[in-house]
Amino acid sequence: MVMEELELDDDIFFSLPDDNNNPILDEIWDRNDSDAERRAAFDSATPTTSKQSSKKKGGKKADPTKPRLPCHHCTKTYANENTLKTHLNGVAMRDMALRSPNVEQLREKLEELSEKTLNDIANKFKVGDLALNCVEYAKSVKEKDRTNVLDYLAVKFKSVFSWESVVFVSHLREKFITNTNKLLCDQEFREELRQLFSSVLIFHDESSSNFFITEFVMSLSTKIFVYVSETMRNQPSQAPSMEKRGSDDFSSLRFKRLVHYIGGSAVAGIKRRSKNYPSSVKFMLFHEIILQNFVEDKDDPSTHCTEDIKSWTATQSRGGLMFINVKAFDFFYELITLTLSHEEYDGSLILEKVHESVKSNYKIVDMWDALICSDESEALISLEWLSCIVDIICRCISRGIMKRRINEAIEKPVNNVAHRALLAR
């Protein structure tokens, strides 16, 4: 009976006559009008159009009232810290790439490298006599002709290797392998070399000439690779001189033990954080590289630090600390020493200054590069990973500086405080 009444009411509701005096219709129309007014008022107060446009463009618009972050190297400003860090990494990459020699420096060194190359392959079978003849020929030609030959080789090797864009020395290794093969396959270059040594190669068959050109190019490119690597690694650092605090004793055994402990804590922290970011491909790759290159190999004693340094870490560990290898210890020693030199008068560490100082310290950069051996495509990512390590070290050292200053103020014995209070003692 109830269902029939409900159905009857529905039929009556949907078949109401068009009557202006109908109270039910008046109530519905009044309700619709009030809803429309409220909706219009809400729409006018809420900027839905900007929200929709920002969604279409793929992100949130920058707040115009928020001050932009300036770059201290140029006049550009950026909306957030991530874009500023990316720009600063690009500036650091540009400055590091300037360490490589230019064409004029290579030209000055090329005569010595070419002569060494010919003398090295003079002892090889089948091309030894040919190399000696080329040495005698190079000494007998006019100075002008010799200059033309060296200028051609310098420009050719410089254009093929193009190391102006090289940031890390390990990137040069990748270029060396690929571009040497390209140079050997360049028929125009091989013909030009035949023309340069035509008076010597004319007395030898084609197979001997091809074998000689291959040996000459490979040996010379190897020497150029060594020369550029040494030039980049021995370049004086652009970092400002450190202001060593009077109470710091960086050569003491206590400080070295602390460096080993902090380095192991940083690696262990990265290992723990990997459980929170299993879906992040970049972080998991970072985690894998750190564990692979920073931790000592139990089966290789040459990677272990000395017992007097690692013994204190073993006493403090509860099973979670990692024992870093010798190369990682040297890296953390330089990094922590540089970081401690940036302690302000109030005990704080300004991260921007520490990051800039680390990236301009070529010794630390080259040690980092030797540890992770990144390829050319990961130069920017490598700098981001280095920044992560610097952030971790600064966070740990800041706590130690704070505890040390508190203990100095209350004159509390050092042996009754946490181990981080031993920093810079």
Return d(Cα 77, Cα 67) in angstroms, integer: 9
Largest alpha-carbon pair distance within the chain?
123
Burial of 307 (0-12, 13-18, 19+ CB in 10 A): exposed
Which residues, in sequence order, are bridge partners of residue 228? Answer: none
pLDDT band at 329 (very low <50, low <70, confident <90, very high): very high
| 144: pLDDT strictly greater than 80 | no
- The residues, ordered by sequence, that sit 6+ positions from 130 with a Cβ below 8 Å of its Cβ are 200, 201, 204, 208, 209, 212
Contact predicate 278/329, CB 8 Å: no
pLDDT digit string (tens) for 173-215?
777 778 888 888 888 888 887 777 766 666 566 777 777 778 8
Residues of the chain with pLDDT > 90: what percent?
A: 3
Choose among 259, 257, 266, 231: nearest CA to 338. Answer: 259
pLDDT digit string (tens) for 213-246?
788 888 888 888 888 888 877 766 655 556 655 4
This prediction has a pTM of: 0.66
Q: Pairing mode, if any, of strands 69-70 and 77-78?
A: antiparallel
pLDDT digit string (tens) for 96-138?
777 777 778 888 888 888 888 877 777 766 666 666 666 666 6
Indicate the residue type of 85.
K
Q: Measured on CA atoms in the order 256, 257, 263, 266, is the torsion positive or negative?
A: negative
pLDDT of residue 9: 43
| 369: pLDDT strictly greater than 70 | yes
Residues of the chain with pLDDT > 70: what percent?
A: 63
pLDDT of residue 248: 64
- The residues, ordered by sequence, that sit 6+ positions from 342 with a Cβ below 8 Å of its Cβ are 349, 350, 353, 354, 357
Average pLDDT over the chain reads 72
Find the mean pLDDT for residues 256-283: 81
